[in-house]
Structure 1
Amino acid sequence: MAKLGMPNVIISFKEAGIAAIERSKRGIVFLVLEEEEAVITQLTTEPEEGEEVIQNPFVVYTTDDIPSGLSENNKDYITKCLLGYVTAPYRVKVYLQATGKSGADKWQDSLKAIAAERWDYLAIPGIEEEQLETVGTWIKTNRENKYKKVKAVLPGYVGDFEGIINFSNKTIKTATKEYTPSEYTARIAGLIAGTPMTISATYAPLSEVIDCDKYDLDENDEKVNNGEFFIWFDGTKYKMSRAVNSLTTTTEGKQEGYQTIKIVDIMDMIYDDVRTTAQDSYIGKYANTYDNKCLLITAILGYLKELENEGLLQKNYSTVELDTETIKNYQLQNGLYTKEELADMSDDEINQLDTKKKVFLKGKIKIIDAMEDIELPFDI
């Protein structure tokens, strides 16, 4: 007996031909913070007079939403995250973990607690070196096997993966405090989340930074090529390096574009939006007829045209259509038609054949990157 399982929406991206509705709000950061268990209990059951009971996790929109009972360090991490870049993050979600745990699996229970939540970037200001691989693997598993396109900012972790941002500074100083790389991941996650998708976080200034570890230009180039995202000093101000993630090993279908934070963000948005809309508005709600497949194509194309008009995709390039070759193979594999019968059919006739529960589509888009490399030779 064939195994049906749950209905699926499988969307994949290949740089040679990207295959891919209501636009979702992006820029949500999840912070996992350690706090004394007594404080967590008080905040979630019997807060101080004048404060409301909070949930765990809870949501912060502005500094006014930060519970006063939190430790000063945790208040600071949330405040730094809210600094953002062009804008503040759309929202910051916070999960409080009781202090006292250790080891490589220290954050596992917290990761399980936030797994079903909707968010874009994760930062854990208390994470230590022995826990990086566990968290990095969890991010990779979610992106590749659980249809959840989440990303994490991890300190000094060579993840070699588009879902991991390797924040590689060794020291960061502000006028009031010196931070470890782990502690400053909250600020970096907020900065990325506060970057509009029309631009990148490359050279985003950090006005609060007064010192950090410094390298010469060749070393900075090498760090970028190694998939590091870091603060550097240009002689006048402190700002971010080229906005790349930790992916350095490119493969067929996963080339240079996958190394760019901006492009991965746009791919993730399209993936989430099309998948969510298909689940909410199409799966189980329409007969799988040719006409209804065309309605789905029209909806996706309208969404992509919207992104073209916003400057995220190249204008007049996006396409979505029925995948004739895959439909043909489906007919052959399931014994519905012979090779000879299919050979006598036009593409339009093949596209109108019954595909049971399956809808086979293909498409292409071209994501617009930010202006980063400028060349201008002058003739004199």
Structure 2
Amino acid sequence: MAKLGMPKVTIAFTEAGIEAVERSKRGIAVLILEDDESTINTLLKERTVNDEKIEALTNPFTIYTTDDIPSELSEENKDYILKTLMGYVTTPYRVRVMLQPKGGENENTPDKFDASLKKIAPERWDYLAIPTIEETQKEKIATWLKTNRENKYKKVKVVLPQYNADYEGVINFSNEFVETKTKTYTGAEYTARIAGLICGTPMTISATYAPMNEVIDCDKYDLDENDEKVNKGEFFIWFDGDKFKMSRAMNSLVTTTQGRLEAYQTIKSVDIADMMYDDIKKTAEDSYIGKYTNDYDNKCLLITAIMGYFKELEDGRLLLKGGSTIDIDIEAVKTWLLKNGKKTKEELAQMSDLELKKADTKKHVFLKAKVTILDAMEDIDLNIAI
């Protein structure tokens, strides 16, 4: 007898789960950098450096290690890339660099980075930083980011300097200046470092209190002021009296609503939720949609497959073990049957849950799931009796 093994869709989701746990160890950062037009033109052509033939770069191009940084770039841009590569527990998986010429007719307008944003939009990445961004462009970038997350199903994030977006996809890095042994940076310039730090933070931990060993000074506040800054959705470097380190790893979301509660305020939780969204969407599109009849048995196959994905995330300590569920959304099925004239209210009232699960919903599959994303240890209460 032939060995058929597990259905392909189940294998695909299980593999996606295994890959997700591995991928959660490192992220992808994108930098939009400005350089001289002549330098960009040189990099986009085949050239010879120290008698070595160098292939033309694409724009954007990929950096994995310091060896990949083109020597022709300005010293400022080399530094931004180096800061991004510093990461945290690990370096980012990769850094994508999008170059655009300095100056131009859009120099001081909100549209300055539109062409670069259009080029990076289709790509797979996690965090964006623009070290030369100015006040004029912040709102435009935040709106572009939100549009991509909400309307175009691109779960990407951006680090913006001193910008209260009140949105989980925007990290409000609020330091006004950061000084290292070699240079003093504006908050905007140091967003490259922060994007790399987050991308180098495994999803099993958070960037809270990540040490910033290269920092020798920054704007300082007292403890009450630091608490208030965190409550305002700011992420910043602070001095604890001994060393410089990051604050609680929060995004800029302050106003919680139904469906967007406290979990949406932490960088770690949003990263895991975004990863799950991307993985399930892509795997369903590649391995399920259009390839199976929409009957009850195949709906159960999809449910089992997605549950296998959740199980891999539980084993990887990203989700609470035993806390994941998924099933057909009976209420959504009822609404669809009623809205499309397939059943009356009276008929629906007479149907059992199993009958509703088996109901013909044409092309639609209505599912509901529940998971518990594990956060990192951040608040420790210890009562010691003497």
1:305 alignment partner in structure 2: 311
Q: Distance in 1 between matches of 2:335 and 2:73?
A: 59
> Secondary structure, in 3 states, of the residue corresponding to 2:337?
helix
Match of 1:323 among 318, 329, 335: 329
Query: Partner residue of 1:277?
Result: 283
Q: Distance in 1 between matches of 2:103 and 2:137?
A: 15
Alignment-derived partner of residue 55 in structure 1: 58
What is the match of residue 3 of structure 2?
none
Is 1:238–2:241 an aligned residue pair? no
Query: Alignment partner for residue 231 of structure 2, among 225, 232, 241?
Result: 225
Once the 2 structures are TM-superposed, how far is the Cα of residue 371 of structure 1 from its aligned partner? 0.5
Identity of aligned residues (%): 66
Find out whether 1:187 has 2:187 as its counterpart: no
Q: What amino acid maps onto 1:237 in structure 2?
A: K
Correspondence 1:9-88 to 2 at 5 A: 21-22=16-17, 23-24=19-20, 25-26=23-24, 27-49=27-49, 50=52, 51-88=54-91
The CA distance in 2 between the partners of 1:37 and 1:355, in whole Å, is 56
What is the alpha-carbon distance in structure 2 between the residues aligned to residue 168 and residue 249 of structure 1? 18
* Partner Cα separation in structure 1 for residue 47 and residue 303 of structure 2: 51
TM superposition shift of 1:344: 2.4
TM-score by length of 2: 0.91
Q: Which residue of 1 aligns with 2:255?
A: 249
The structural deviation recorded for 1:48 is: 3.3
Mean CA deviation greater in 160-169 or 343-352: 343-352
- What is the deviation of 1:342? 2.6
SS of the equivalent of 2:62 reads: strand
Query: In structure 2, which of residues 110, 121, 126 is the aligned counterpart of residue 115 of structure 1?
Result: 121
Cα distance per residue 1:276-314 (max 9 Å; x no partner) = 111111111111111111111111100001111111111
Q: CA deviation at 1:171?
A: 1.1
Q: Which runs of 5+ in 1 are unaligned?
A: 1-20
SS at match of 1:165: strand
Deviations 1:85-114 (A, max 9, x none): 000011100000111131111111110111
Question: 1:106 & 1:344 partners in 2: Cα distance?
Answer: 60
Mapped to 2, the partners of 1:184 and 1:325 lie a distance apart of 48
Deviation at 1:196, TM superposition (A): 0.4
* Distance across 2 between alignment mates of 1:218 and 1:171: 20
Aligned length: 360
Cα distance, 1:345 vs. partner?
Answer: 2.2
Contact 2:45 2:55 (C-alpha < 8 Å) held by counterparts: no
2:97 is matched with which residue?
94
* Contact 2:328–2:357 under 8 Å retained in 1: yes
Report the alpha carbon displacement of residue 135 of structure 1 after superposing the two structures with TM. Answer: 0.3
Q: Write the distance in 1 (CA, Å) between the matches of 2:374 and 2:128.
A: 25
CA offsets, 1:96-149, max 9 Å, x none?
A: 011113111111111011100110000001101111001011001111111011
- What residue is the counterpart of 2:360 in the other structure? 354
Equivalent residue number for residue 152 of structure 1: 158
Residue 340 (str. 1) matches residue 346 (str. 2) = yes
Q: C-alpha distance in 1, partners of 2:183/2:102?
A: 22
Aligned-residue Cα RMSD (Å) equals 1.1
Partner of 1:165: 171
One-letter amino acid of the structure 1 residue matched with residue 318 of structure 2 = L
Letter in 2 for 1:38: S
Letter in 1 for 2:96: K
Q: Which runs of at least 4 in structure 1 moved beyond 4 Å after TM superposition? A: none
CA distance in 2, matches of 1:78, 1:254: 34
Displacement, 1:47?
2.7
Alpha-carbon shift at residue 269 of structure 1 (Å)? 0.5
| Shift, 1:187, TM fit | 0.4
